[in-house]
Structure 1
Amino acid sequence: MDTSEANDDTLGIEVILPDGGKPAPCCPHGPTLLFEKVGKGDEKGRRFYACSACRDRKDCKFFQWEDEKVSEARVLAREAENQSKRPPFTQQEYCKRFRKFASLPLDEKKFCQDCQILLLPSEREAHSSHRSTPVTAAQLRRPSALLRPLDNKKSNAQYLFTDRSSHFLLDTLAGLGYKRVLCVGTPRLQELIKLRNLEQNHEPMKSLLLDIDFR
């Protein structure tokens, strides 16, 4: 993490776990984390809030000292900035859109490559100058086949494994008897676990995907 504001004789940075005190301020990526620099001789330094997702200030410039007094004007400006950088739809809206899209006839299912979004019939005219492609039922079951990979290694790198690699990983995990899997930046492995669970031919496996990708 680039912590130039807290950067004298710092030897390391520690994350301070919340103790039920005041809520952390939010950046565009959500609630921030509280950090503390550790100096020579384990000397504790000043605590500060920074983005919980991005480790480079170029990707998220949020920075605030824990004991800093923030004016109401700055809070309002920060909230406006956070709002401007949020995804175009909430998670609930995305789910509602997906259900509508899934109910469309096959020849009406279109995906905008430029905007990386499933197009509902009422939106096609607005995207008429963009590149769009048909969407198959198989692609809806594995949407990572449609999406461009995110490639910022410091904040949101994704590992889009080939089918062969994904099956090998899943078979290995199942063979080792794992019942819970945390998929970090590996959406195709997550998709494969969900699909295998639907088949009901294998021991069910619980999985959670951690991936900074609003799509």
Structure 2
Amino acid sequence: MGSVCFIVDAMVTGNMLPRHLKSIRDSGVADHLLPILVTSTQAHARLSSIEQRYHTHCLITPKLPLGARLNKAAFASQAEWLIIALQKQPLPASLWGSLYPQLNTYNLDALIVGLAQPSLAKRILRRLLASTLLLPPYIAVRRAWLERLGGFDPELDDASAIDDFLQRLHDCPTRLKTYSGRLLSQAAEHTSAMLPNDPDLAYTSKR
């Protein structure tokens, strides 16, 4: 497995933060091989307890928007792949265990993790009604590609920072696939008839 670092923002995951961390730690990889950076705007006793329990490192950045917090964490890590939490709902530990081998490739820039593809009818409806991207639970992005995209917009906060990054990810010629527990080749076949930047690949949804 190539080097991996998780970035989990406490404001994004909220009270589900411990479940995110437990899922990652239960994936079967030794803690020292799988660093986790937890970002937050303020230090408090709960974070200190979580840091010890799940062997994470907390980055406290008061007053910084989400985009700037994620950039700071990405800069602090030297891992080849960054796996970033984008929403509150955690993923099962079994998915992580099967995901890591998929990152042993030079043919991917990013991987949308845990987002099941909606039906054709739902995709059509979303294209008609939607204005923003549906956030996947996580995204894995190669460090070099994140830097090439310019990282997250440091001026944007909350969902706006994530929406902006995902939009740029899809607008650029990113070698992008989805993974929700199936092999990458199977996931790719499901969208092989679509153009690389087809809006269907972005799965749009009205907020």
Decide: shared fold, TM above 0.5.
Answer: no
TM normalised by structure 1 equals 0.24
TM normalised by structure 2 equals 0.25
Larger radius of gyration: 1
